[in-house]
A and B are shown apart, each in its own frame.
Chain A
Amino acid sequence: MSKINKLISANCGVIRPDSVEDYVKAGGYEGLKKAFTMKPEEIIGEVKKAKLLGRGGAAYPAGSKWEQLLEIPEFPKYIVINADEGEPGTFKDKILLSQDPLRVIEGMTIAGYVFNSHDGYIYIRGEYRAIQKVFRSAIDNAVKAGYLGQNILGTGFAFHIHIMTGAGAYVCGENSALLNSIEGKAGRPRIKPPHLAEVGLFLMPTLVNNVESIANIPTIVLEGGEKYLSYGTKDSGGTKLVCLSGNVVNRGVYEIPFGVSLRDIIYDPELGGGIPNGKKLKFFHLGGQSGPIGSQAQLDTLYCYKALRNAGLSVGSGAVVVMDEDVCVIDYLKGVTEFFIHESCGKCTPCREGNKQIYAILCKLSEGQATQDDMAVLRRLIDTMTNASFCGLGQSATVALNTCWKLFKAEFEDHLNQKCPAQVCFTEQGRGE
């Protein structure tokens, strides 16, 4: 079995990204044409059969999400695509957005048709400036070619796509914060309920999907849900874009069928190609900064939702950040925590203040100043942030720390005794601040 299966990334780097002609030649828009012959319920039926789980990180069943929105009687409904890709180590949506935007546009148009929605918004992260231009051009060309805008393909159906962007805030990837940002408000999460399906963008029923999720829709419609499911495992249908980075030979985005092992992803010559310079693997960080950390012992876990969950790991956004033996866990976690200090929206106490105090304790550890009391406080902060934060950002900000706590307890203890196994802390070059 090949470890690469280009279901949704086949066009990437192959066609001119904004060319409708190229896209159609490569088989594009067949999904939309087929969708127009189907009833909304039938399309949703295929998405459910495909067992497509949300690719943004939350892994919520897309079919159920669509079904719930379909049942809500209010109109207008909005389609919102979350392209606020912000997890460090995650750059998969970037590839789709920049190299095959028409696939995303086609997916959005199908969703628009399903929900009789006439406006779709794609929220492209502020840092993806160049991509916004490409995407704009692709939209314009799709409108010119009759695949978007008024009276699409002569069906009478009208759908418009609007590009939105923020100033660059990780929390805007949280769906309700994203909607606030589109509405021109500060990008901070809303209190839920009401859920976004009911009270979403401009207080109307709204579908929020990730770029990769929506890019799968044309394929699922065209090939059918069952066929799509068969590309992966029986619980994790289809393929997944994974982003390999860190201490790995072949960094980049790969589309793999679910069911490949983590060892394959990191070591297979077709994929990661192993650790450079003959170094040993120390750990890998899955699914983004808010994802869990795994160790050598978990390498044979299969990359699919169920097996990863059973191993205490997760797919998340699809990021696989590889770290070799020269990396200090405490030092790495300081980087993760700094990220969350920067990106917390500041609205709730645990996240706003907790990251800062965690960082202070990690600094004490890397400086050899920490005590057993600090360890107890750290433990409590992990629990409080996880269980009491307002939104997913705060709740998951401690996931990496929590998994390292379990995997590398000895390394924490070593630092208490002013020893750094990776020889990063307590040295001239050390990052100890």
Chain B
Amino acid sequence: MGHHASDPNKIVNITIDGIPVSCPETTLILDAAKMAGIDIPVLCYHPDLKVRATCRVCIVEVKGQKKFKTACGNEVWDGAEFITNSPAVRQARKDILELILAEHPQDCLKCVRNTNCELQKLARDFGISKPQFANKPNPIPIEDSNGVIVRDMAKCVKCGRCVEVCQEVQTVGAINTAHRSVEYEITTAFDRSLQDTVCVYCGQCIAVCPVGALYEKDETEKVWQAIADADKHVVVQVAPAVRVALGEEFGMAPGSIATGKMVAALRRLGFDKVFDTDFAADVTIMEEGNELLERMSHGGVLPLITSCSPGWINFVETFYPELLPHVSSCKSPQQMFGALAKTYYAQKAGIDAGKMTVVSIMPCTAKKYESARPEINGSGYRDVDVVITTRELARMIKQAGIDFNKLDDQEFDAPLGISTGAAVIFGTSGGVMEAALRTVYEVVTGKELVDVDFESVRGLTGIKEAEVDLDGKKVKVAIANGLKNARQILDKIKAGECDYQFVEIMCCPGGCIGGGGQPHGTTKAVREERMAGIYQADRELPIRQSHKNPAVTALYEEFLGKPLSRKSHELLHTHYHPRHK
């Protein structure tokens, strides 16, 4: 009681371990400590999420107070003296870790997060060696029946990050906390399997999990087997957002463009052809751009909403089925690629599509679900056979003993590896919209676009809006970055309060650069760096508009005819349907 709201403009003077710090009154003890060069250990804390202060690992002593305070859960106040490193604090932190470990399976060697686990790191830093408590892990069976997200809740440290991401960042609400005390757990409603919930498989829960309680269903073995099978022609496609994140797994800074090394590594792994999802992204622009123009000129349902992000598709099918007519009938680039690989490419290269395996490397977990949709296939086969995440690819490269950093840059194979800057920006929020505008402008106006950079649709803002003048015809567009923001736009559309013509929705915050299949440690800062990498890659490409991609032009000339042709519809378009709730 007696608390007053802290003032961001008031600078206070404090000490942390005797080091004086001046900072705004609204600074968390944790951040003030950083200013003094002190890294207070955290477990439940995540820089992008709300403070929960539940694990209590970050406790500090306050001079004059008996009880500890959490550094993540408390702001500083004038004159406060914090001690972060007393024997009492160290002992209490160690005891808290021991309490967590008592419940934990402690099978680090067999854990997907081995060497990349926040709990493991803390246990090592605190020198935890001999057991203080009897180790009695909860015998909770691993749930992996949905084929996308694996839940190994025996390893859960109950930090609640996944719950917050699911409930508040994505507003999906598939998981929550339940029960109390020793039975307190993170679970689904009525303990259902994930596939019987509203889960959209975005994998954001995996992205924020500090330990090995949540991870993607590993399908690398399927890929190894396909590669090893001499009868199989195995082609691989790589989504744009993978190239600016994969390097992190090999010690590179976030956002480092590793395209050339990645292609080289894929070739070394033994893929017969190394192609690029970007090629299909350019095709997507041709189809979706024309779908937009078609709807605009023929009184179709507007706004048109993009359909590239499979987590978003699951979301609209689950929560807004009445808005499905707004969703573009275009398949995602991944699925367009699969359909074209097993028809156009197979035909061109004289390969039996039945003996082809199409592997996708995706920054996304929902892509695994998408590729398994029965209605998505157009080639007469399953269009995409296996989807692995950025993390899984990194594991394969490590298993193969490839020294990633020493690889020489190589180029994608032709023709499905030829792409443009418009395609690469698909990897970040606003990218699909910008790529579409680059093409639609020229198609509608017949004029050359002088400046292809649509800055207003870039960045990590929740909802971005822009108005584009297409020769006197104004087109209003909007971009929703993450599902919570999508909800806002969708509610407006439902209420008839939207005058947008085109809306891009990306399931994951930041778009694919922040996808659920990306290397662990994704934060807002990391997203920004990956995003910068994407725009750099765009700038460095000679062609930056999809309709100028010569391979795409050839595809239409040789195979599809024109966008929205009958053949396009057969191979590149699909339909969506309401999903159970």
A169 at the interface (CB under 8 A from B): yes
In the bound complex, CA of A171 to CA of B59 (Å): 22
Inter-chain CA distance A383–B89, complex, in Å, is 11
In the bound complex, CA of A353 to CA of B95 (Å):
10
Q: How far is the CA of A65 from the CA of B91 in the complex (A)?
A: 36
| Residue of A191, A341, A349, A386 touching B99 (CB-CB under 8 A) | A349
Contact present for A348 and B180 (CB under 8 Å): no
Contact residues on A (Cβ < 8 Å of other chain), bracket: 35 or more
Beta-carbon contacts under 8 Å, B256-280 to A: none
CB of B183 to closest CB in A, whole Å:
7
Check: B230 CB closer than 8 A to any chain A CB: no
Known contacts being A353-B99, A380-B91, A383-B92, is A345 close to B1, with CB within 8 Å?
no
B96 and A349: CB pair below 8 A?
yes
Q: Kindly state the separation between the CA atoms of A195 and B51 in the bound complex, as whole angstroms.
A: 16
A332 at interface by CB-CB < 8 Å: no
Give the segment of A41-49, A226-234, A354-362, A412-420 that binds chain B. Answer: A354-362
Report yes or no: B56 in contact with A353, Cβ–Cβ below 8 A: no
Contacts of A390 in B (CB 8 A): 53-54, 56
Write out the residue numbers on chain B whose beta carbons fall within 8 Å of the beta carbon of A186: 177
- Tell me whether A380 and B54 are in contact (CB under 8 A): no
CB distance from B265 to the nearest CB of A (A): 41
A38 within 8 A of B: no
Partner of A357 from B51, B52, B102, B160 at Cβ < 8 Å: B102
Cα of A356 to Cα of B99 in the assembled complex, Å = 9
- In the complex, A354 Cα to B56 Cα: how many Å? 12
The 0/1 profile, CB within 8 Å of B marked 1, for residues 331-371 of chain A is 00000000001111111111011111100100000000000
Residues of B close to A381: CB separation below 8 A: 95
Q: Of residues B102, B160, B180, which shows the largest number of chain A Cβ atoms within 10 Å of its Cβ?
A: B180
Interchain CA distance A355-B73 in the complex, whole Å: 23
Contacts of A389 in B (CB 8 A): 56
Contact of B181 with A by CB under 8 A: yes
Which residues from B are CB-within-8-Å of A360? 133-134
With a CB–CB cut-off of 8 A, which chain B residues contact A278? Answer: none
Please indicate the chain A residues that have their CB under 8 angstroms from the CB of B158 in the complex. 346, 349, 352
Please tell me if B55 contacts chain A, counting CB pairs below 8 Å: yes
Once bound together, how far apart are the Cα atoms of A195 and B99, in whole Å? 30
A126 to chain B, nearest CB (A): 14
Give A191 to B102 CA distance when docked, in angstroms.
Answer: 26
B95 contact from A345, A356, A380, Cβ within 8 A: A380
Alpha-carbon separation in the docked complex, A252 to B57 (Å):
43
Asked whether any CB of chain A lies closer than 8 Å to the CB of B182, the reply is: yes
Cβ contact within 8 Å between B99 and A350: yes
A296 lies within 8 A of chain B by Cβ: no
Minimum CB–CB distance for A404 against chain B, Å: 20
Q: Is the CB of B100 within 8 A of A353?
A: yes
Q: Give me 6 other A-B pairs in contact (C-beta within 8 A), A349-B57, A384-B96 excluded.
A: A68-B2, A191-B53, A195-B3, A347-B184, A348-B55, A384-B92
Any B CB within 8 A of the CB of A176: no
> Which residues does chain B contribute within 8 Å of A380, judged by CB atoms?
91-92, 95
Q: In the complex, which residues of chain A have a beta carbon less than 8 angstroms from the beta carbon of B180?
A: 169, 171, 343-346
Give Cα A349 to B181, complex, Å. 10
CA distance A194 to B4 in the complex (A): 9
Please tell me which one of the listed residues B3, B54, B99, B160 contacts residue A194 in the complex, with CB atoms under 8 A apart.
B3
A387 touching B66, Cβ below 8 Å: yes
Residues on B with C-beta less than 8 A from A387 are: 59, 66-68, 88, 92
Known contacts A191-B51, A360-B133; is-contact A346 B5 (Cβ 8 Å): no
CA–CA, A347 to B51, complex, Å? Answer: 13
The answer, yes or no, to whether B179 is at the interface (CB within 8 Å) is yes
A-B contact pairs, 15 of them (CB 8 A): A171-B180, A191-B52, A195-B3, A343-B181, A345-B180, A347-B160, A347-B177, A349-B55, A349-B56, A349-B99, A349-B100, A352-B184, A353-B102, A387-B67, A390-B56
Shortest Cβ gap from A47 to chain B (Å): 15
Looking at the assembled complex, report how far the CB atom of A1 sits from the nearest CB atom of chain B, in whole angstroms: 34
Q: Does chain B have a CB within 8 A of A395?
A: yes
Q: Which 7 A-B pairs have the closest CB atoms?
A: A346-B184, A353-B99, A344-B181, A384-B95, A346-B180, A384-B92, A388-B56
Residues of A within 8 A of B55 (CB): 348-349
In the bound complex, do residue B3 and residue A386 qualify as a contact, i.e. CB atoms below 8 Å apart?
Answer: no
- Name A65's contact: one of B1, B66, B177 (CB within 8 Å): B1
Q: Does B282 contact A (CB under 8 A)?
A: no
Q: Flag if B95 contacts A386 (CB, 8 Å).
A: no
Q: Bound complex: CA of A301 vs CA of B284, how far in Å?
A: 83
- Taking CB atoms, residues of chain A closer than 8 Å to B179 are 346
The answer to whether B461 has its CB under 8 Å from any CB of chain A is no
Task: A381 to B98: give the CA distance in the assembly, Å.
Answer: 11
Q: How far is the CB of A318 from chain B (nearest CB, A)?
A: 22
Is B504's CB within 8 Å of the partner chain A?
no
Closest to B101 in A: A353
B81 contacts partner chain A, Cβ-Cβ < 8 Å: no
CA–CA, A352 to B157, complex, Å?
A: 11
A198 at interface, CB cutoff 8 A: yes
Alpha-carbon distance between A60 and B2 when the two chains are bound, in angstroms: 12
- Flag if B102 contacts A350 (CB, 8 Å): no
CA distance A388 to B61 in the complex (A): 10
Point out the residue from A346, A377, A386 that lies within 8 Å of B182, measured CB to CB: A346
Taking the closest CB of chain A, its distance from the CB of B67, in whole angstroms, is: 5
Minimum CB–CB distance from A360 to chain B (whole Å) comes to: 7
A:44-83 near B, CB below 8 Å: 60, 64-65, 68
